[in-house]
Structure 1
Amino acid sequence: MAEDENEYIELPEVEVGGKKMLIAVGKLNEIKDVDEIIRNVRDGKMVFVNVKKLREKNLDELKIMISKLKKSCVNMNGNLVGLDENNLLAIPSFVEIVKE
């Protein structure tokens, strides 16, 4: 089955402290994808974001979108972190990143 590149995949729910957390997987290919990611974070979902295609196509556009996404996440008391050169993690306010 071919997967639409702009489609978000809902992963199974994860229990966090007795509360279920939804995790979404998305791609950042165009500006409308930023709004979808922000909506998911606002709804309390953690979103894994793949940026590989856009990074290879237009680095300047990617930087603009990441900046918009970062500002939006921070304004919601969430965060945006880089996992590697191709993947980001957008998190809602109740998720804390612990670096060891």
Structure 2
Amino acid sequence: MPLLDGLKKIFTTKEANAELHEDYVELEAEVKDKSSKVLVRPFTLTQYDDIKDILQAIREGTTISVVDIGPLKDKDLSELKRAVDKIKKTVEANGGDIAAFGENFLLATPSFAKVWRRSEVQPQQSQTQEQEKEDIEEL
């Protein structure tokens, strides 16, 4: 490759050669804190303004929120509906999942977690098994 090196020396100046080496910018890789973990955090809704902390936790994206809606449910159903709608919209906007547990609890998860729900396939399977039993009895 001495021929190429010779041609480079002839056709490039020192300034152009220096520019070739300065055209790139070295970026440091963004390393996430290894100590950051998923946080499961309980919240209690006693009034509509209590959703501020819940929404902030959802937006951070590392907190699974367990929300006790019982106190607000006993106090004011219209405020509860507004609060749950706001939480639901925020969860969906962040790609998370939300589900109710029992009558007084909500679970809001970040985008990397999903709440398991019973599928509708199980009842259909039991109907199929019952149909097979009836068919066998007819024989």
TM-score (norm 1): 0.75
* Match 2:81 to one of 53, 63, 67: 63
Q: Name the residue aligned to 2:97.
A: 79
In the alignment, the residues of structure 1 paired with residue 87 and residue 42 of structure 2 have an alpha-carbon distance, to the nearest angstrom, of: 15
Gaps of 5+ in 1: 1-18
In 1: Cα distance, 2:63 partner to 2:106 partner: 14
Give, in angstroms, the shift of residue 54 of structure 1: 0.7
Q: Deviations over 1:46-96 (max 9, x none)?
A: 010001111011111101110111011101111221011101001111101
Matches within 5 A, 1:9-88: 20-43=37-60, 44-88=62-106
Runs of 4+ in structure 1 off by over 3 angstroms are: none
Whole-angstrom distance in 1 between the partners of 2:52 and 2:98? 14
- 2: CA distance, partners of 1:64 / 1:23: 24
Q: How much does 1:29 deviate?
A: 1.6
% identical aligned pairs: 30
The alpha carbon displacement at 1:35 in A equals: 1.6
Aligned to 2:113: 95
How many residues end up aligned between the 2 structures?
A: 82
Rounded to whole Å, the distance in 1 between the matches of 2:51 and 2:97 is: 14
CA distance in 1, matches of 2:93, 2:46: 23
Structure 2 unmatched runs, 5+: 1-35, 119-139
Deviations 1:14-58 (A, max 9, x none): xxxxx7311100011222221211111222100100011110111
Residue 37 of structure 2 aligns to a residue whose secondary structure is strand
Query: Which of structures 1 and 2 has the larger relative contact order (alpha carbons within 8 angstroms, sep 6+)?
Result: 1
